[in-house]
Amino acid sequence: MKRRMRTAILALLLPGALNAQQTVAPTTQEPVGPVRGDNVAEYNIVNSIELGDRFAAIGGNLDSYKSQVNFGNGIRLLGSFFSMNSRDGHGKYFDEIVLTTQGLGNDPYESAILRVDKNRLYRFDMHWRLNDYYNPGLASAGQSGGNFRNTRYTAQDDDLTLFPDSKYKFFLGYSRGVQAGPEITNVGGFIAAVPTGAADSETAGLTSLRDARNEYRVGSEFQLLGVRVNWMHGWEDFKEDFFVPANANGDGAPAQQTNPYHGTSPYWRVGLFMDKKWFSVNGRFTYSDARRAYVSEQSGFLGGAPQLLQVVTRGTGHRPEATGNLTFSIFLGPKLTFTNSTALYNVRTDGNSEFLQLNNGTGQFVTQNFLFLGIRTVSNQADLDYRVRKWLEFYGGYHYSDRYMRNILDPSLPTFYQTSILNAGVFGARIRPIEPLTVVLSTEVGRANQPFTPKSDKNYQALGARLQYKKKSLLFSAYANSNYNNNSVTFTAYSSHARTYGANWTWSPLRWLSFNADYSKMHLDSLGGLAFFEGGDSPVSGYSLYISNLHTGNLGARFALGKRADLYIGYSHVQDTGDGRSNAQGSGFGTDVPEFQAAQTFPMKFLSPVGRFSVKINNRVRWNVGYQYYGYHEDFFTGQTFTPDQAYRAQTGYTSLLFSF
């Protein structure tokens, strides 16, 4: 019995554990402690804690490593799990507590998830996460931009549901997100008259950024005349402050800038739904009004001006937005379903703004109107689903959308109107010729008469096929998708061809052995018209042809070595082979400007082998050790003299104790 249970547990854990493990730690899913937990009074407790030390040795471009991986050195709580369940479902204050954490203390990516539940009375969920975000400007393909940012983003969602199993539920929620840290960004060294900005000149400055949002929610759900009603009212408050001290960038353009930018977005949401034997109907109606108020103040001897300048821009804006969705389904017998879904979207942006410039007592005052942008979209989808046999099902549908847009750039200019109508048809099939095999086919063909940009969908088609074979411990799946879009106009053309192929294979042939492998190829070729200046008086016209052939593969294998040890080895490889050229200049198709030639493809490599060994010391303690290598390389730019070298090699690893008490 004991052996069978161990087999069952391993069979359950192994396939999950071998799925492409992207980071070497924490040591997920290795069992520690009694499988069934410990009984304490009327509760059962299961717990595990993994305390470990990471190390990282980086060669090459540290900034690239920080922006892509960012694991550092030091001790941290790599992971933990705690659950407490009442054994009879009648706990005094709670029936379940589940707490999981990851990376607390020192990792760049941390999370904690808590659930507290008392049957039929309440349910509380909390999800906290931290993302240590670092970006050294735009740092690929030989570019290094000026928009540095190094912030820590923390977010927390709290949701309390009262009477979760009752017909009358109540919801309370609170979410908070804070992003804070230094950034180098464009703050405007010169100040020019708004709105033209034609003579404006910019310079980078160091700012201390802080964005904070707080969202409060209250709602309930109940039944009224046979219809389930769910409503929610929320407020999201937003606040951004940054401060640039005088002469922060030390470039001879002493300026000080503050920019408090605050606002709130109250919203209402009402959902109605009813699900009966032969029909279902549901609707979702929302209204929100994003409001923002801002003051931006700059002062100093700007741009070498002899006088002290002080500039204040201030304003308030609002964007009311109303949406509605109504969906109606009729189940015409067990085989045929008709669904019609209608959606309405209506939004406008409006507000007022002022620009005030003081020059040693001489004032200039300009009132600046918000750029008015109104969008109204009505769309409808009618779909029919027909199950011919148990193993064969078809669906098809017609989608129509009408988008009307109104735009006022300036009251002195005419108002611009635009209507875009999209007609699309969808068709698909699900075939299950034998029990373990499922094939899914899908097609969408669409035509839009007024795409907003040259890259927008105009004449497009999306084809997809997916195959899955699942039998016992073997899972094999393969897929092929293509997305083509053609958007031709009088003087230029835009066409984009994206094709993706891939396969995934997971197999656990023996109790102690399991494999995973997947491969994917993503092809993109995108042809578009270009017009630009390269120093002369006349713009240059040409074409850009961007080609990407991106291959990704993951391999993983896991071995249970006897009863005590587990070994996992894996390898992840990402490589863009570009358009096949061997140097940055290529064949000269389209425009022969070297800078364009170099930017038309981006061959690169990103690879990461990983290995992890875990051994059971006793029933309550495991020791783990792991190693992961990261290597990043840009073919045309690594090792070049005049372009930033973004390549790096990182040896990372960890050792930890996973224990239960």
Residue 596 DSSP class = H
The burial of 471, by beta-carbon neighbours within 10 Å (0-12 exposed, 13-18 middle, 19 or more buried), is given as exposed
**Is 64:138 a contact under the CB 8 Å cutoff?**
no
The only residue of 104, 162, 218, 343 in contact with other proteins, by rule CB under 8 A: 343
Tokens 């750039």 belong to 409
In the shown chain, the binding pattern of residues 237 to 266 toward other proteins, with x for contact by CB under 8 A and - for none, equals: -x-x--------------------x---x-
Strands 336-359, 362-369: pairing is antiparallel
Restricted to residues 191-210, the positions that interact with other proteins (CB under 8 A) are 194-198, 200, 202, 204
The one segment of 54-62, 525-533, 613-621, 649-657 that binds other proteins by CB under 8 A: 525-533
**Is 147:185 a contact under the CB 8 Å cutoff?**
yes
20 binds other proteins (CB under 8 A): yes
Restricted to residues 371-400, the positions that interact with other proteins (CB under 8 A) are 371, 373, 375, 377-379, 381, 383, 385, 387, 390, 393, 395, 399
The string over 7-45, giving b where at least 16 C-beta atoms fall within 10 Å of a residue's C-beta and e elsewhere, is eeebeebbbebbbbbebbbbbbebbbbeeebeeeeebeb
- Minimum distance, C-beta of residue 229 to other proteins, in the bound complex (Å): 9
How far the first Cα of the chain sits from its last, in Å, is 25
How many binding residues for other proteins (CB under 8 A)?
215
In the shown chain, the binding pattern of residues 409 to 448 toward other proteins, with x for contact by CB under 8 A and - for none, equals: x------x-x-x-x-x---x-x-x-----x-x---x-x-x
- Minimum distance, C-beta of residue 32 to other proteins, in the bound complex (Å): 14
**Full DSSP string of 255-318:** -EEE--EEEEEEEEEEEEEEE-SSEEEEEEEEEEEEEEEEEEEEEESGGG-SS-EEEEEEEEEE
**Is 638:604 a contact under the CB 8 Å cutoff?**
no
- φ, ψ for residue 304 (rounded to 5)? 80, 10
- Minimum distance, C-beta of residue 144 to other proteins, in the bound complex (Å): 8
297 binds other proteins (CB under 8 A): no
The one segment of 50-58, 180-188, 356-364, 653-661 that binds other proteins by CB under 8 A: 180-188
- φ, ψ for residue 323 (rounded to 5)? -135, 155
Restricted to residues 59-118, the positions that interact with other proteins (CB under 8 A) are 67-68, 81, 83, 85-90, 95-96, 98, 100, 102-103, 108-111, 113, 115, 117
The only residue of 59, 74, 105, 145 in contact with other proteins, by rule CB under 8 A: 145
The only residue of 606, 623, 627, 629 in contact with other proteins, by rule CB under 8 A: 606
620 binds other proteins (CB under 8 A): no
**444 vs 464: CA distance, rounded Å:** 9
**Full DSSP string of 434-480:** STTEEEEEEEEEEEESS-SSTTS-SEEEEEEEEEEEEETTEEEEEEE
Q: Is the bond preceding residue 26 a cis peptide, omega within 30 degrees?
A: yes
Restricted to residues 459-518, the positions that interact with other proteins (CB under 8 A) are 462, 466, 468, 475, 477, 479, 481, 489-492, 494, 500, 502-504, 518
The H or E element spanning position 85 is strand 74-86
Tokens 């941390």 belong to 110
Restricted to residues 28-47, the positions that interact with other proteins (CB under 8 A) are 28-29, 36, 44
- Minimum distance, C-beta of residue 285 to other proteins, in the bound complex (Å): 9
Residue 552 DSSP class = E
- Minimum distance, C-beta of residue 545 to other proteins, in the bound complex (Å): 10
Secondary structure of residue 247 in the 3-state scheme: coil
The one segment of 247-255, 300-308, 522-530, 621-629 that binds other proteins by CB under 8 A: 522-530
- Minimum distance, C-beta of residue 313 to other proteins, in the bound complex (Å): 5
Residue closer to other proteins by CB (options 353, 624) is 353
In the shown chain, the binding pattern of residues 305 to 334 toward other proteins, with x for contact by CB under 8 A and - for none, equals: --------x-x-xxx-x-x-x-x-x----x
- Residues shown for the chain: 661
- Minimum distance, C-beta of residue 147 to other proteins, in the bound complex (Å): 6
The only residue of 463, 599, 615, 625 in contact with other proteins, by rule CB under 8 A: 599
- Minimum distance, C-beta of residue 158 to other proteins, in the bound complex (Å): 15
Secondary structure of residue 419 in the 3-state scheme: strand
In the shown chain, the binding pattern of residues 545 to 574 toward other proteins, with x for contact by CB under 8 A and - for none, equals: -x-x-x-x-x-----------------x-x
Restricted to residues 624-653, the positions that interact with other proteins (CB under 8 A) are 632
**117 vs 126: CA distance, rounded Å:** 12
